[in-house]
Amino acid sequence: MLFFRSEDHVKRWCEERGREIGAVLSLDQAWRLADGWYRNKLRADWRRHTLDETEDLLRSIGLVSPFWALR
Amino acid sequence: MIEAELDHDVRLHIFAHAVTEGAPPTVASTARALGAGEADVEAAFRRLAAGKVIVLVPGEREILMANPFAATPTGFAVRAGDRQWYGNCAWDALGILAAVRANGSVIAACGDCAEPLKVAVRDGAATGEAVLHIAVPAHHWWDDIVFT
């Protein structure tokens, strides 16, 4: 999971490697994903998200394409 | 100490150490800190790895990743005040600032052209000239988490 300067740079990187483009997130989406995923990681009562919770998080950020399917 | 209690204490120590020292601890230092035996701590590391809480160096007993924290320097440096950590990837670098709940910045490079990139996080929002690319579909992230 890499940062790129823009989606054009993602396209070029993928083309050079013969890879399909995966998912390109805006910085706002990336931050909301990271925040939702890790916000409680240091808490004593932390536990892994359930599948339902993870799907809710992804949906709340607009990540709903088949790429994001968890099951 | 029963396994669940040890795993809990080891987990808290791993992440507290990562926050204060910049990287996750070793088996030996965790054993010293908790007054536990190294074999018991190593077993706890392996159980935490099996539970996908941490990732061990392949074939070894030490931590490679205590997500979002990396055990060794990476191309995703994270700074908040005078503290510095390394993320395992772009997502984890942002995740460190989320976990420590601090304003700060991520210093990385464009995966394509290697131009330096800086992402700032302040008061719950990220700014910078960058997008994040995820190459592996979500269902396959843990097939090879080091590649992911």
* % of chain A with per-residue pLDDT over 90: 90
The predicted pLDDT at position B1 comes to 65
- Picking from B94, B125, B138, the nearest residue to A69 by CB comes out as B138
pLDDT digits (tens, 9 = 90+) for A19-37: 999 999 999 999 999 999 9
* Structural domains of chain B, with CATH: 3-65 (1.10.10.10), 67-148 (3.30.450.410)
Give DSSP secondary structure letters for chain B: --HHHHHHHHHHHHHHHHHHHSSPPPHHHHHHHHT--HHHHHHHHHHHHHTTSSEEPTTSSSEEEETTEESS--S-EEEETTEEEEBSSHHHHHHHHHHHT--EEEEEE-TTT--EEEEEEETTEEESS-EEEE-S-GGGGGGSTTT-
The predicted pLDDT at position B123 comes to 94
The predicted pLDDT at position A54 comes to 92
ipTM over 0.90: yes
Average pLDDT, chain B: 94
How many residue contacts between A and B have a Cβ separation below 8 Å?
A: 151
Q: Which residues of A touch B113 (CB under 8 A)?
A: 5, 9
Within its chain, how far is the Cα of B6 from the centroid? 20
The predicted pLDDT at position B140 comes to 83
| Mutation target among B48, B74, B100, B134 for the A interface, most CBs of A within 10 A | B134
**Token pair 């988490």: residue:** B145
Cα of A43 to nearest chain B Cα, Å: 8
Mean pLDDT of A50-62: 93
The predicted pLDDT at position B146 comes to 60
The predicted pLDDT at position B144 comes to 62
| Mutation target among B112, B139, B140, B145 for the A interface, most CBs of A within 10 A | B112
Cα of A6 to nearest chain B Cα, Å: 6
The predicted pLDDT at position B141 comes to 76
Question: What is the distance between the alpha carbons of residues B106 and B77, in angstroms, rounded to a whole number?
Answer: 6
pLDDT above 90 (res A71): no
Q: Which residues of chain B have pLDDT under 70?
A: 1, 142-148
The predicted pLDDT at position B22 comes to 97
